[in-house]
Structure 1
Amino acid sequence: MKKHQLNIIILLFICFKVIGQTKQPNFLIILGDDINAKDIGCYGSENKNTTPNIDKLANEGILFKNMFVSEAICAPTRAELFTGMTPNKNGCNINHATTKQGTLSIVQHLNKLGYRVGLTGKMHFRPTSVYPFEIIEGFTKNANYDGTPPENWDGVSEFINRDKNQPFCLIICSVHAHAPWNAGDSSLWDPNTIVLPKHLVDTKETREYFTEYLAEIKLFDEQVGNARNLLKKNNLEANTALIVLDENGAGMPSGKWTTYDIGVRSACIMKWPKPFNNKFVTNAIAQYCDILPTLIEAAGGEVSSNLDGKSLLPLLKENNTKHRKYAYFLYNNTKEGPEYKMRAVTDGTFKLIWNKSPDNLYAIRVINGFDFGYVDKMEDRHVRKMYLSWLAKAGYDKNASEIVQRYRKHPDFELYNLNDDPEEMHNLIDNQELNTIVNELKNALISHMKAQEDRFYTVN
């Protein structure tokens, strides 16, 4: 071989090497629906054999121990994830609300960087002008689907293989484990021996529905496994960042629709292509609004200053343990019942909850809407039947009565040590030794609310 030919080959090799290192990664996000992070194996679930695929991914990737949603309801969670903005900033701060017109979402941000951006499954966001996803058929959009919905992966396969020269971002939005809990094989667990969270009243109905809920989590886990296999089959895994999220907590009392950890703490597992680090667990505090800026920066874009989120890339590149000092939460109920608003903040150890309407009864229409006269069109709603069994037991059982009262009535402030009391069952607000921590968290929360133009920052 002549010298000039050898030089050309070496030059081409260097070019291909550089191109391989700078090629934009694909993004695949798999989003669950109403799943408690603590019911996933790698997050310490005591009910085994539910999430083998997610657990395997966690062993190979990055597990976030302190990833949070700002508001534990479906529409606000999705709006935060897709806009990189918190609920008050993007406008979707109650369920079923519309994101502010003119807001840019993941679609516009990544389209600008050359990506095609698609979504299959549950939507629960609007308007289309903000969220102009390419909608891919194959997964049900109906979160209230009765039974196990069919799945067809053909559309997903076509989307990710359409053009190997164009990067893609695909979001698979599962309806598992949204109620009703009647999908999957619940025979894998014995209702009499499963471990229930402490904030649930132990009744026959609770155990039956919780077992069905575990079966739906397993269906979500199978979707994660199928997605990984599809990437491997099409030789896309090496350049695809895979992100698995469980959305907000389960649609059971004291989970979804609250600022308790069971509602706002989200599972988040990421596996990134080289040169990013994998195989580590991080305790860094992060929120859903941080994910979009991360994707933008990883794609080679510049993160807009109007986003509330902060890119996680420094953490991913350097295994940083710090990202945010605090995470902030809110809850606004709909107009269907007595006004109820919650605001909260955590530093990762302590959580302060500020109930803005403590004199009002806390009520969720699908659970205890009958407390304010709501007549549900769905007579056999699972969560309400669960709650009615609680009321029956509360008539003769002290522990059940205390859990029901905890659910229906909240004090002005609640303080929890998340290390000692992860299920937030023991309110420490009257502990005088913790006054300094209370004041620090209260000041941080008020400052945040002012910055978010949240008019409820004044003291009751």
Structure 2
Amino acid sequence: MNRKIISCIFTGLLLSVSLNTFGQQLDLVKRKRPNIIFIFSDDHAYQAISAYGSTLTQTPNIDRLANEGVILRNQLVTNSICGPSRATLLTGKYSHKNGFKANENSFDLNQTLFTRELQQAGYNTAWVGKWHLGTLPTQALNYFKILPGQGHYYNPDFIHHNGDTVRHEGYVTDIITSFARDFIDQQDADKPFFLVVGHKATHREWMPDIRDLGAFDSIDFPIPETFYDDYTGRAAAKDQDMTIDKTMVLRQDLKVEQVFKGRYTSEQAKALSDYYGGISREFKDKKLQGKELVEWKYQRYLKDYLSTARSLDRNIGELLDYLDESGLADNTVVIYASDQGFYLGEHGWFDKRFIYEESLKTPFVLRYPGVVKPGSELQDLVLNIDWAPTMLDLAGAGIPDDVQGNSFLPLLINSRDSIQWRDAGYYHYYEFPQPHRVHPHFGIRTDRYKLVRFYGELNNWELFDLQQDPNELSNIIDDPDYSSVLDALKDRLGRLILKYEDSEAEQILRAAGEI
């Protein structure tokens, strides 16, 4: 759709949103263009969200969004790592197309960004919190207050829109929520806004808010079924460096004998020292070794991780309450998602990166009162390249031709017949060897199977039947009973590589005679 035509249509307060992407019209009861708030956390595992069936903790405010909207059960990422996930959000394109394959790169803002498309459509755009793309988003947004790099949990610095870097006292999750409210307070009621609330939580090193210290200390969490995985038949899984046993650091990660000084206030330092000092004394007294030590580390990891997530969920509730109180809730789309999944002890791991389920799948819930039916579930395979076109579709804006994802709005409003949705998701991970020695790989996930091709130092395939082996313990790549399945999946993988123009993956397969 021509942008000038869009602009003319959108000058009034009321509109009939056009889904030009699918050649059909959706009359949203002559609603005003919705505000869109995208709450974007970091490393928040779906296994730690009660709406996804978690038995580890309760997340009442994320659950509230799911109950009042839709929960996506098979939301997959295309490269399970922080910065690249944000680049994919902004572009609707795979890492090989948007140029941001690994962390610590510098994102090229001189490409199609959906935030600029929203600006062309009359939206005021903003981002507060974690950005993590190595460059300032001046060209991409109307407003921002972002953390430099990963940022800090306590008394974090923020880069303001005017370029100043300012330290703000308090806990980072609370501060980001405050910034979000400040931005919303300043908005013109006649102009819609788009806002990313980019939380640092629940990123390593999992520092809880003081009021959440010890929230789970009375709980002895069950050891995951795959905690002592020996990685038989999976060379890359065996060669990684992301285990709770060997990789997790007692002082940095679990705060054993950590000294809290420098950026902490005296009150913060005392509270943290008192709590973790007790943990350190307990650890010293136990003199743990072997299996007892690794299981103690797992318990401490989960307690801090879930305590950090507790503040995140509370802040989501505070923002939802604020929307209710300000009268904005009815015409505001609220999305909650994480940049990727995360391991909570499965396979003995923390972190992400692999195409395996715990890091491939990420939470995604969306609420749009009056449009998306409360309590809905979506089982379709949705990718994070689909986020940008969906938000453009929600805003009634045109979707640029170079966007590789598709809007899944028709799936949310029961217009499924208007589109042919995907039956497989394509994935490609690059960052190696540091920091966790996860070998580069690409592959596909269907509703039942997963096919993976590792390359570089390793050159091997893995195949999993998720119906028979949901924990992905048995690599059946050489099982003759699956030969026809393997042939079909390799063909499907090759076609997706060509569709998404992943020349590196294509070259690898062609050189090996596998495509």
TM tier relative to shorter chain: 0.7 to 0.9
Could you say which residue in structure 2 is the equivalent of 1:431? 479
Q: CA deviation at 1:255?
A: 4.5
- Residue 209 of structure 1 aligns to a residue in which SS? helix
Q: CA deviation at 1:254?
A: 6.5
Could you say which residue in structure 2 is the equivalent of 1:233? 325
Q: CA–CA distance in 2 between the matches of 1:40 and 1:75?
A: 23
Could you say which residue in structure 1 is the equivalent of 2:200? 175
- The correspondence for 2:502, drawn from 440, 453, 457, is 453
CA contact (8 A) 2:433 2:439 kept: no
Are 1:264 and 2:360 matched, yes or no? yes
Could you say which residue in structure 2 is the equivalent of 1:313? 409
Summarize the Cα distance change of 1:52–1:275 in structure 2 as closer, same or farther, 3 Å threshold: closer
- The correspondence for 1:97, drawn from 99, 102, 105, is 105
Q: CA–CA distance in 1 between the matches of 2:47 and 2:343?
A: 14
Summarize the Cα distance change of 1:450–1:339 in structure 2 as closer, same or farther, 3 Å threshold: farther
Are 1:207 and 2:299 matched, yes or no? yes
Summarize the Cα distance change of 1:190–1:28 in structure 2 as closer, same or farther, 3 Å threshold: same
Are 1:151 and 2:160 matched, yes or no? no
Q: CA–CA distance in 1 between the matches of 2:48 and 2:476?
A: 26
Are 1:58 and 2:156 matched, yes or no? no
Could you say which residue in structure 2 is the equivalent of 1:328? 426
Provide TM-score, normalisation by structure 1: 0.78
Could you say which residue in structure 2 is the equivalent of 1:110? 118
Summarize the Cα distance change of 1:92–1:130 in structure 2 as closer, same or farther, 3 Å threshold: farther
How many residue pairs match? The answer is 393
Are 1:221 and 2:245 matched, yes or no? no
- The correspondence for 1:246, drawn from 314, 334, 338, is 338
Could you say which residue in structure 1 is the equivalent of 2:463? 415
- The correspondence for 2:184, drawn from 146, 157, 160, is 160
- The correspondence for 1:83, drawn from 64, 82, 91, is 91
Provide TM-score, normalisation by structure 2: 0.70
Q: CA–CA distance in 2 between the matches of 1:291 and 1:226?
A: 24
Summarize the Cα distance change of 1:261–1:130 in structure 2 as closer, same or farther, 3 Å threshold: farther
Q: CA–CA distance in 1 between the matches of 2:218 and 2:443?
A: 34
Summarize the Cα distance change of 1:76–1:142 in structure 2 as closer, same or farther, 3 Å threshold: closer
- Residue 210 of structure 1 aligns to a residue in which SS? helix
5 Å-filtered alignment, 1:383-398, equals none
* Percent identity for Structure 1 against Structure 2: 24
- Residue 473 of structure 2 aligns to a residue in which SS? coil
Q: CA deviation at 1:418?
A: 2.5
Q: CA–CA distance in 2 between the matches of 1:308 and 1:205?
A: 41
Q: CA–CA distance in 1 between the matches of 2:384 and 2:181?
A: 27
RMSD: 2.7
What are the superposed Cα offsets for residues 363-385 of structure 1, whole Å, 9 maximum, x if unpaired?
Answer: xxxxxxxxxxxxxxxxxxxxxxx
- Residue 110 of structure 1 aligns to a residue in which SS? helix
- Residue 152 of structure 2 aligns to a residue in which SS? coil
CA contact (8 A) 2:116 2:141 kept: no
What letter is aligned with 1:332?
Answer: Y
| The 10-residue stretch of structure 1 (295-304 or 171-180) with the greater mean CA deviation from structure 2 | 295-304
| The 10-residue stretch of structure 1 (220-229 or 23-32) with the greater mean CA deviation from structure 2 | 220-229
| The 10-residue stretch of structure 1 (419-428 or 267-276) with the greater mean CA deviation from structure 2 | 419-428
CA contact (8 A) 1:183 1:216 kept: yes
- The correspondence for 2:39, drawn from 30, 34, 47, is 30
What are the superposed Cα offsets for residues 78-128 of structure 1, whole Å, 9 maximum, x if unpaired?
Answer: 010111111111111122223345212132010000000101100112444
- Residue 36 of structure 2 aligns to a residue in which SS? strand
Q: CA–CA distance in 2 between the matches of 1:198 and 1:316?
A: 34
